[in-house]
A and B are shown apart, each in its own frame.
Chain A
């Protein structure tokens, strides 16, 4: 049997640790160890094509809150207390200043939901204060490659992990002739590039690329339905024979209008139709029903992928604190970076950290918005260490140098 070197579960708890794991509940209590976790988030939200996708004001934050509540339930047995400090920042604000303020309050661990440029600025500021960042909002591959940082753990999957997850499924379906439709935002160019690499890696063929040039996106209003019904068939007219329309549209400008409106009768995937996500409110396998119930009871809405990413980051902190028996941020981080650290996140396999770029390896769900259609990695995509490493940039290809 191939040992799963990256996450050898057999040694999850080393022998030397066994002694401290049994905790008497009734002993006289000292003051609990307090673990302060910051949450820095971009308060500006982009508009969405579907009204159903309009994000709640606490999108992401709610996931962190649930995880902290879970951590505190466990902490009760271990004399640990977890506090969440929420700092919303507007686009123009200085994120670094917010970090300084948190650091002065004794926060050593910060979950960040900010775009790539802000994250790099935060990383520089964090280095001054020995603060560890947990990225839940920036999917940029560059942050895991040339621009990787030793004080940023990426809980959000990279674009390549998402496109690989979707690409594996399309190849498994033998839908290997793709038309790639990408938008005019810079993120769309990055996402399109990830699809090109995915196609190359798994043997799919991009038979044609088309670009949707508008960036503002006339949202569907009174006359919009009529307009999009005309525009979308024309946009997808005259293509060579293909199996599936792959869309790269991170800012929700056009992809959401494509299903049922393409010139040819073809399925739409990527930014609409079948999407690669870290979570779906319909996921009920592997105990998922429980976390969905808990989330809905607490926040009266459904749990989004961003909520799950923030939940996972906060649970990783809780798990490392529980098992290392400490409230010290540096010790928690070094425990988390050990090769046998793993956290359960309702996806059937434990999640762990890739040591070459600090990316969290994780299964990726494929959702049609109603149900989980599949979960990648797909059968047959094998890896010598763990099949999870068939998603995203692998160790031999990495350009990341962690100092």
Chain B
């Protein structure tokens, strides 16, 4: 009994006052699950538009932005009232997007339309449409805000778009069906995952040249089950976490050596990843097991599984 109390006290002590809130977009039941990270559980479910996928949050934390793909719109959801308060003119079938580092504009990949739509979040107006490859998917903005990267799943390229001119300046071929693009926090590299190629391509954003390619051999799994999706770097850029889809694992990559340090077993079909602002936890959406795995980043251990809505796709953590 004493030990139990001690353990409970230790647990209580180890729970910092972070009070973070995470949000997952649930593709199959048209909802957002709101997770209280103190209690590590879903505390609320918000009904939203059809086929919710890409999800992010405004810099001030006031609004969630959500791609309601089948409604051809982006919904703005008030994070205090949990009500849909407005929409952005996204163009057809918005899937993923990225906010500029300054908080505005928003870059949206229109999967059905081979273009990137640029939206001013304040005026809620389209300010530009940039032609890109077939089935645009991943969007990333460089930390200095000068370069936007878009991947195209059937063209198999990472397209580099200049912020000021809104023109594509270069395109780099990568392996089959590129999904996510993520810059290191220091901006030195952009990493692009290839779902069918089974690899992550490391690209120098200055020269647009491929510098490394990372593979993810997992003992006992067929190659086609290893499908890299979302990529996230720790704040110090020392580690990268790569979701491997139906491999049900997140790979931990040492960014100095480009070697996989470890595979973390999470839920089924792991898709998107998000860190808590203090970098203590990494959250993963697991589309087929309808849950979120919580990874303790320092220990590199999965510590919790939180049930959410059906087929969770994207995840974002409030900065507050």
Contacts and interface: CB of A to CB of B under 8 A. Distances in A.
B218 to A, nearest CB: 7
Q: How large is the interface on B (under 10, 10 to 19, 20 to 34, 35 or more residues)?
A: 35 or more
Given A73-B134, A74-B157, A344-B154, A13 B173 contact: yes
Contacts of B207: 22
A23 to B, nearest CB: 5
B192 to A, nearest CB: 12
Nearest to B154: A70
B134 A70 contact: yes
Interface string B173-187: 101110000000000
A398 to B, nearest CB: 24
Interface in B73-117: 93, 111-112, 114
Interface stretch (B41-49, B208-216, B307-315): B208-216
Contacts of A10: 198-199, 213, 215
A4 interface: yes
Contact of A25 (B111, B170, B197, B199): B170
B172 interface: yes
Nearest to B217: A1
Contacts of A1: 217-223
B135 interface: yes
Interface stretch (A102-110, A203-211, A286-294): A286-294
Contact of A73 (B133, B196, B210, B215): B133
Contact of B169 (A9, A26, A74): A26
Interface in A282-322: 287, 290, 293-294, 297, 315, 319, 322
Is the contact region of chain B dominated by helix, strand, or loop, or is it mixed? loop
B249 interface: no
Contacts of B155: 70, 73-74, 77, 322
A343 B176 contact: yes
Given A21-B210, A343-B176, A293 B93 contact: yes
Interface string A16-31: 0011011111100000
A287 B152 CA distance: 12
A342 interface: yes
B291 to A, nearest CB: 21
Given A24-B170, A322-B156, A387 B176 contact: no
Given A18-B209, A294-B112, A12 B176 contact: yes
